[in-house]
C-alpha cells in the first residue's frame, strides 16, 4: 500500500511532520517513536516555566497523545530507534529491553539535537545542569524548588544562557555568565552585544567574556567554577554552550551529513537516501541570502521543516523557503533580535558593506513607557541590498526585526523600502519609526 510513515522524534519537527502527513493523506499509517515521555512540547517556554511564570509543565504541551491518536497518528513514547536499515526499509526500535523491527515506506528523522558538554573536569558533579528536553527542565525545576540556590554560574552567553540568567535573577540568585567568545550573543556584532552586556552588569549580572571554563570543582556537588582568569564560588552550573545535531543514527545508516555534522537535506527535506527525510535541529537548512547550507537550530525552523517533510512523505510536493537566521530573545527588560548576516559574517564572505547604528525610541518620546531602541543596519556597498539587521532595546523593540526579515526575504534594497508606510500612533512608535530612521541613516 506504500502508506507506512514512520517518524523518529516527537517534539517540534517530528510532530509537525506527523500532523501534516495525516492531513495530506488521512488513510496513511503514521507511527511516531520518541525516547521521551513527553511529546509536542515547547522547549522555548522552559525558562518561563522554571521561573514559575507558567504554572506546570503540562501547559508547555501543544497537543496530547490522544489528540494525535484522533488524527490517526500512533505515538509511541519511551521507544528508542536504535538503527535504520534503508536496504530493507526497516527501523529497529527498543522498548524496555525488547527490540522490534518496524517497516516503513517513508521515514522522517526528527531526532533534534543534544547540548554540547565541554570536555572539562567536573561536568558530572551534582548540580551541573543542561537544558534541552523536558527531563532536563524537570530536574532543574526540582533542584531550584528544593535547594533555592544563591549563586549560579552560567557557561555560555547565547540565547538560552541569557534567558536563564533572567530566570535565576528572578528567583533571587546571584548570576555570573562565563563566555569563551570576546562577546556575549556571538551571533550579533560586538557593538550591539556590548549594549546588552552593560545592561546586564548594571542589573547585577557578572559577565566574563573571552574567558575559558577550565574545570568545575566540588566533592559531590558543585562548589566552585574555575576559569582561566578566576574562581567563582557557586552552588550550581548551567552549561549552555551550544547544541550538536543528533545525526549518528542517520550517519550509521549511510545518510550524508553536512555542515556541523547535521543531516544534509535539500529544500524538500530529502536526505541522500530515497524515501528518508530529515527536519529540525538534526538537519541543515539553506540560508536565503548566501544560498549556503547552515546549521541554525531553532524551533521556528523545526516546525516549518517538519511540515514540509510530512507533506512530502505523504506524497505531496512542498519546499522550504530557507532561513535568514532570524532570532529574538528577552533578557529582563531588554529585547535582542537579529536577522540576515552580521558585519562579521559579511567580512567572512568577503562582501563589501556599509553600516549604521541608530538610537531612537520605541514609542513617542512623551508617551509613558517609551524606551531606547538601538538598530544596526547593514547593506551592500554597491547595490544597497539589505544584508542584516540587529536590534537591542526596551519593550516593543525586538519584534521590529520582522519588518527587516520581511524586506530581506523579498531581497529588498534600502532605497526600495525607505518610505514604507509603517503604522504610527504615540503608544506604538514615534512618527518616524526607528525602522525608518535606520533605513534613512543608512542611505
Residues that bind ligand FAD (CB under 6 A): 8-14, 33-36, 43-44, 46-47, 80-81, 110-113, 131-133, 160, 246, 249, 280-281, 297-300, 302
Contacts of 146 (CB under 8 A, 6+ apart): none
Nearest approach, Cβ of residue 90 and ligand FAD (Å): 14
CA angle, 339 as apex, 333 and 340 as ends, to 5°?
A: 160
Nearest approach, Cβ of residue 236 and ligand FAD (Å): 16
Instruction: Cell 557578572: give the residue.
Output: 206
Nearest approach, Cβ of residue 227 and ligand FAD (Å): 23
Cβ proximity to ligand FAD: between 310 and 430 the closer is 310
Cβ proximity to ligand FAD: between 245 and 388 the closer is 245
Kindly list the distances between the CA atom of residue 331 and the CA atoms of 109, 205, 289, in Å, as whole numbers in the listed order: 33, 11, 28
Contacts of 95 (CB under 8 A, 6+ apart): 76, 78, 79, 80
Cβ proximity to ligand FAD: between 336 and 437 the closer is 336
Quickly list DSSP for 219-248.
SSB--EEEESS-EEE-SEEEE-S-EEE--H
Q: How far apart are CA 316 and CA 28, in angstroms?
A: 13
Cβ proximity to ligand FAD: between 159 and 387 the closer is 159
Contact 129, 136 (CB under 8 A): yes
Residue nearest to ligand FAD (CB): 112
Cβ proximity to ligand FAD: between 9 and 396 the closer is 9
Nearest approach, Cβ of residue 6 and ligand FAD (Å): 11
Nearest approach, Cβ of residue 92 and ligand FAD (Å): 10
Sign of CA pseudo-dihedral 266, 271, 272, 275: negative
Half-sphere exposure of 148 (CA within 13 A, CB side): 1
Residues identified as active-site:
44
Tell me if residue 80 falls in helix, strand or coil. Answer: strand
Angle between helices 159-170 and 190-202 (to 10 degrees): 10
Nearest approach, Cβ of residue 16 and ligand FAD (Å): 8
CA angle, 161 as apex, 49 and 233 as ends, to 5°?
A: 105
**Cα Rg, the chain, nearest whole Å:** 23
Q: How far apart are CA 373 and CA 379, in angstroms?
A: 20
Nearest approach, Cβ of residue 329 and ligand FAD (Å): 6
Cα 382 to its chain centre, rounded Å, is: 33
| Region class of 210: left (phi > 0), else alpha (psi between -120 and 50), else beta | left
Q: How far apart are CA 263 and CA 281, in angstroms?
A: 9
Q: Which H/E stretch holds residue 140? A: helix 134-147
Nearest CA among 177, 178, 179 for reference residue 200: 177
Nearest approach, Cβ of residue 250 and ligand FAD (Å): 10
Cβ proximity to ligand FAD: between 156 and 297 the closer is 297
Cβ proximity to ligand FAD: between 165 and 439 the closer is 165
Cβ proximity to ligand FAD: between 113 and 216 the closer is 113
Contacts of 440 (CB under 8 A, 6+ apart): 418, 432
Amino acid at each position: 500500500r506504500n502508506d507506512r510513515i514512520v517518524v523518529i522524534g516527537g517534539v517540534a519537527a517530528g510532530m509537525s511532520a506527523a500532523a501534516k502527513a495525516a492531513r495530506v493523506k488521512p488513510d496513511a499509517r503514521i507511527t511516531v517513536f520518541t525516547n521521551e515521555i513527553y511529546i509536542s512540547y515547547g522547549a522555548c517556554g522552559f525558562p518561563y516555566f522554571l521561573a514559575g511564570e507558567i504554572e506546570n509543565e503540562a501547559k508547555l504541551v501543544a497537543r496530547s497523545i490522544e489528540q494525535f491518536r484522533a488524527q490517526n497518528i500512533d505515538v509511541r513514547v519511551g521507544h528508542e530507534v536504535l538503527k535504520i536499515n534503508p536496504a530493507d526499509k526497516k527501523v529497529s526500535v527498543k522498548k524496555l529491553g525488547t527490540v522490534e523491527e518496524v517497516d516503513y515506506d517513508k521515514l522522517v528523522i526528527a531526532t533534534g539535537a543534544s547540548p554540547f558538554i565541554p570536555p572539562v573536569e567536573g561536568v558530572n558533579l551534582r548540580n551541573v545542569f543542561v537544558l534541552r528536553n523536558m527531563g532536563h527542565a524537570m530536574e532543574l525545576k526540582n533542584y531550584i524548588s528544593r535547594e533555592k540556590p544563591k549563586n549560579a554560574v552560567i557557561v555560555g552567553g547565547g540565547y538560552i544562557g541569557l534567558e536563564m540568567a533572567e530566570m535565576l535573577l528572578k528567583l533571587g540568585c546571584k548570576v555570573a555568565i562565563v563566555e569563551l567568545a570576546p562577546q556575549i550573543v556571538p551571533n550579533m556584532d560586538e557593538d550591539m552585544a556590548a549594549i546588552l552586556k552593560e545592561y546586564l552588569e548594571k542589573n547585577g549580572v557578572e559577565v566574563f567574556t573571552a574567558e575559558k571554563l577550565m574545570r568545575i570543582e566540588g566533592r559531590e556537588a558543585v562548589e566552585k567554577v574555575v576559569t582561566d582568569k578566576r574562581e567563582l564560588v557557586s552552588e550550581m552550573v548551567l552549561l549552555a554552550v551550544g547544541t550538536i545535531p543528533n545525526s549518528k543514527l542517520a550517519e550509521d545508516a549511510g545518510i550524508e551529513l553536512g555542515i556541523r555534522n547535521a543531516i544534509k537535506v535539500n529544500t524538500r527535506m530529502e536526505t541522500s537516501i530515497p524515501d528518508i527525510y530529515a527536519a529540525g535541529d538534526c538537519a541543515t537548512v539553506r540560508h536565503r541570502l548566501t544560498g549556503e547550507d547552515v546549521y541554525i537550530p531553532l524551533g521556528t525552523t523545526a516546525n516549518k521543516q517538519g511540515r514540509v517533510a510530512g507533506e512530502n512523505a505523504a506524497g505531496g510536493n512542498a519546499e522550504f523557503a530557507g532561513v535568514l537566521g532570524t532570532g529574538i530573545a528577552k533578557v529582563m527588560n531588554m529585547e535582542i533580535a537579529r536577522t540576515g548576516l552580521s558585519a562579521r559574517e559579511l567580512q567572512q564572505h568577503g562582501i563589501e558593506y556599509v553600516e549604521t547604528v541608530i538610537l531612537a525610541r520605541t514609542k513617542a518620546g512623551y508617551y509613558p513607557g517609551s524606551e531606547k531602541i538601538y538598530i544596526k543596519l547593514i547593506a551592500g556597498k554597491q547595490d544597497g541590498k539589505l544584508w542584516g539587521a540587529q536590534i537591542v532595546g526596551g519593550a516593543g523593540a525586538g519584534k521590529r526585526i520582522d519588518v527587516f526579515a520581511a524586506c530581506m526575504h523579498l531581497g529588498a534594497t534600502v532605497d526600495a523600502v525607505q518610505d514604507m508606510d509603517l503604522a504610527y500612533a504615540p503608544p506604538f512608535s514615534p512618527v518616524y519609526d526607528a525602522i525608518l530612521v535606520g533605513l534613512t541613516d543608512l542611505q
